[in-house]
Amino acid sequence: MQNLTDEFIKFVKFEKGLSDNTIFAYKNDLNQYISFLKKIKKTIDDVTNEDITEFLWQLKQQNIKPNSLYRKSSCITQFHKFLISEGITKNNPIEFLSKPKLQRKLPQVLTLEEVERLLSYIPKKKFNDIRNKAMIEVLYATGLRVSELVNLKFDNLDLTNRYIRIIGKGGKERIVLLNKKSVQALKEWLRIREKKFAYKYLKEFDQYVFLSKLGKPISRIDFWEQLRNYVKQAKITKNVSPHTLRHSFATHMLKYGADLKVVQELLGHSDISTTQIYTQVDRQHLKEVHKKYHPRG
């Protein structure tokens, strides 16, 4: 059985292009599932739909988070499809398997006014502030993930044509577009960056766009902490992270008429249902506005 799970992990890693975190989670999911099969004395050839349902039910009774339960169900489904496609078994226990419902919380987003207020509260003289303003402008302009932002290299940045080439999750490539504000902020940062490191040899870090005062790439945690300080200064009471700007980008794009498929492409989502949640955010906002301002709200 261990050989089969190893082969499946290789398959999803190289054929599906899943992230390292997902691969790690799938390994744990399969170990749990295989242990369950051993406990009930079943194999891949005689496990049934009812057995898998019982396995998922037991996990639910242990207060496993809905998203984790959904992932485990998906892992088991893909595992059995893999076994059948490879001719290892003809048994198909997942044919009529009902997946657990995926409960998605609506993401926290900033209003357009809050984004403007945040950016206006960032000082324009200090090294870190100029860099951070450029980073925030780029996040809001493009919807990048924070890991994509801090790892941005000059080879992938084209200021003339105003775009960034990103290699995202699973090695998938996409193009994101910069606006005028983000290009201006980037140019100002690059002038300061060049002045700061003009006479220093940065070795392997010279290729990174965003650097600390020590000439090293800024970490996600450092950027997050500095962003929180700006949020506090701007008197924004929401719990804001770099991902909040990604959520805000998507919500505002859809609100002002962008096509859902375009936003999906810009965000790098493989499944459009992931992008659709932002349409729900906008609807929820409309409901809140209506309730607040309608005389019979």
Active site residues: 145, 169, 243, 246, 269, 278
Integer angstrom CA distances of residue 38 from 34, 62, 73, 80, 91: 6, 20, 18, 16, 17
Number of C-beta neighbours around residue 187 at 10 A: 11
Which has the closest alpha carbon to 4: 87, 95, 96, 94?
87
Residue type, 164: I
Query: What would the two tokens of residue 18 be?
Result: 């899943």
Nearest to residue 220, comparing CAs of 241, 200, 205? Answer: 241
Helix 66-85 with 20-39: angle, nearest 10 deg: 80
140: burial class by Cβ within 10 Å (0-12, 13-18, 19+)? Answer: buried
Residue 208 backbone dihedrals phi, psi, to 5 degrees: -85, 140
- How many other β-carbons are positioned within 10 Å of the β-carbon of residue 108? 14
CA distance 138 to 152: 11
DSSP calls for 235-296: T--S---HHHHHHHHHHHHHHTT--HHHHHHHHT-SSHHHHHHHHHHHHHHHHHHHHHHSTT
Q: Is 142 in contact with 178 (CB distance < 8 Å)?
A: yes
- Compute the Cα dihedral for 170, 176, 182, 184 and give only its sign: positive
> Residues of 141-167 as b/e, b for ≥16 C-beta within 10 angstroms?
bbbbbbebbbbbeeebbeeeeeebebe
